[in-house]
Amino acid sequence: MRVIVELRVHFALSLGVSLVFKTIQTEGIAELSYLLGDDDEGVAAVFDPRPDCDIYIEMAREAQVAITHIFETHIHADLVSGSRELQSRLDSANIYVSHEGGAKYEFEHEKLQDGDCFTFGETLVTARHTPGHTPEHISYILAEADHPETPWGVLTGDSLFVSSAGRPDLLGADQTEELAAQQFKTLRDFYLKLPDHVMIYPNHGAGSPCGADIGERLSSTIGYERKFNKFLQFPDAKSFTDYAKDTAPPVPHYYPVMKKLNAKGPEILGGLPRVQGLPPKAFKEAIQKKAGTLVDTRTMLAFGGGHIPGALNIGGSPVLSIWAGWMLASNEPILLVLENENDLEDVVRLFIRTGYSKFAGYLVGGMKAWDAAGLEQAEVRQMTVHELNKRKGELQIVDVRSPREWKNGHVPGARHIFLPELRKRIGELDRAKPTAVYCASGYRASIAASILKEEGFDNLWNVPGSWEAWKKAKLPVEGADGK
C-alpha cells in the first residue's frame, strides 16, 4: 500500500476579495504554517515554513501572489526551518527573525523587533514580542490596515495553542523558571487583553511535543481559550509554572540539535536529496561496510513477516519525522527499505523535516528482491491482545509508551520503559525470557521490537493494535497505583 503524506490546506478566513490566507498542516510533526497575502497587489508572506517548501510556491502561484517576506516566530526545536530553503527558490524575498531576548543567527536575515509593522494590501501585520516558550518568541497581530486598533487574528507561534500553551522548559532546567514566568506574563498581559473575537492561529496542532495536550482544532478564538484553556486559568506565576512543568511531555533529544541548526542556518538542499537505488548484493555490501543506518519503513506486519537482520523499523507514516529524530543520530546517512519504491520521495520528505538529508541508498525491488536473492532474513512474531492476556503471567511484557500514557493505565504486570530510553535500559530485561512489546497502536512497539531483535531477544512478539485494541477488548487494566 502506498503511503501518502497528507497535506490539508485550510482557507481559514476570507475578509474581502483581496485577502489570501491559508493554513498549511504538516502531519506527523503537527506543524502549522501560513501563507498571507493580497491578490490585488500580488504580494504575500509565509510564516514558519517547513523545509520541503514547494507547497508554498505552488499555493502562491495558484493565488496569483509573489512571496516577498518570510517570517519566523522563534528558533524552532521540533523541525528544520524552511526559511532559507524557501528563500533560495524565490527571486527576491527577505527572511525576518526576532532579535528580542538576545537571539543571534549565523545566516543573512532582516532584524525583527517588537512593534515592527508590515502591510500586505489591506492587511496590517504587527510583530509583538511574546517570550516564554523561548526568549526571542514573536507573535503577529493581524488587522485591517484601516482599523489597526481592532485586530481580527493573531499568529501565536508556539506561545498559545488551542487548549494549551508553549512549554517553557526546552532551554534546560536553569532557564525554565524564568521562561515560565515570562510565559505567564505573556498569556495574561498580552493574549488575555485581546478582544474575545480575535482568532488564534498557532504553530502546532494535536500531537506536537511542543505543548501539553494541544487541542484537535487548528484554530480558536481568544474568548474560547479565555474560558476553557487550563493554562489561562492560573492566578499566579508559581501555580502556572508548576502546572506547565508537570504536564509537559518528554523532551525529544533531537530538539537541542534543531535549535542549534536553525540558529546557524540549515543547509540549502535545492530540492529533495537524490537517493541511489542499490540491488540486493550492493545493498548488502553497503550494510556490511556500515555506509548508513539500516531503516525499514514498511508497516509493522510487513516488517514482522521478514526483514533484513539489524534493521530498525520506523514505519513510513507522517510520525516518522518525530521518531527518526528520537531514534537516529543527528543527520547520519540512512540505508532505506521501502514498502513501495513509489514511496521514496514521500519518505525522504519525512526524514528531511527533522534534519536527515543524507542517504546511502535504497533497496531496489524491496524485500521481494532481497528474498529472491536468497539473502538472510529475520522476523518478529505478532501476538493479539487476547493471547497476550491469556499468557501475561509467563511473558516479560514491555510497555514503551510515554510516562503519562503509562500512568493512565497499562497491561497488568507490564514493565514500563519509554521507547527512547530502551537502548540504555536494555540491561533491565531478560533476553532469555519470552517478551511481548506494546504501545498505543503497535507503531512504537514495532520500533522497540526491532531494537530488541537486534539485541538478541529471539523469543519476541509485537502486539498489533496494542493498548487501543486492549481497551476495546475490555481486558483488565492496571493503574499507576497498582490496582
Active site residues: 439
| Residue type present at position 460 | L
User: How is the beta sheet containing 359-363 ordered, strand by strand?
Assistant: 277-278, 359-363, 334-337, 293-296, 312-313
Containing 156, the helix (H) or strand (E) segment is strand 153-157
Would you give the DSSP letter of residue 274? P
CB 347 within 8 A of CB 318: no
Helix (H, G, I), strand (E, B) or coil at 345: helix
Helix (H, G, I), strand (E, B) or coil at 200: strand
Distance CA 110, CA 71 (A): 10
CB 144 within 8 A of CB 126: no
In the numeric block, the cell 481486558 is attached to 475
Helix/strand/coil (H/E/C) assignment for every residue in 203-225: CECCCCCCECCCCCCCCEEHHHH
Would you give the DSSP letter of residue 77? S
In Å, what is the CA distance from 378 to each residue of 26, 209, 286, 381, 448? 34, 33, 18, 10, 15
Rounded to 5 degrees, what are φ and ψ at 118?
-140, 140
Give the closest residue to 469 by CA, choosing from 448, 447, 440: 440
CA 116 to chain centre: 30
Containing 451, the helix (H) or strand (E) segment is helix 443-454
**The C-alpha cell that represents 171 in the structure block:** 532551554
Rounded to 5 degrees, what are φ and ψ at 12?
-80, -25
Give the closest residue to 243 by CA, choosing from 231, 251, 235, 255: 231
Containing 405, the helix (H) or strand (E) segment is helix 403-407
User: How is the beta sheet containing 19-26 ordered, strand by strand?
Assistant: 7-11, 19-26, 31-38, 43-47, 66-71, 94-98, 110-112
Sign of the CA dihedral running 413, 416, 417, 419: positive
In the numeric block, the cell 520521495 is attached to 345
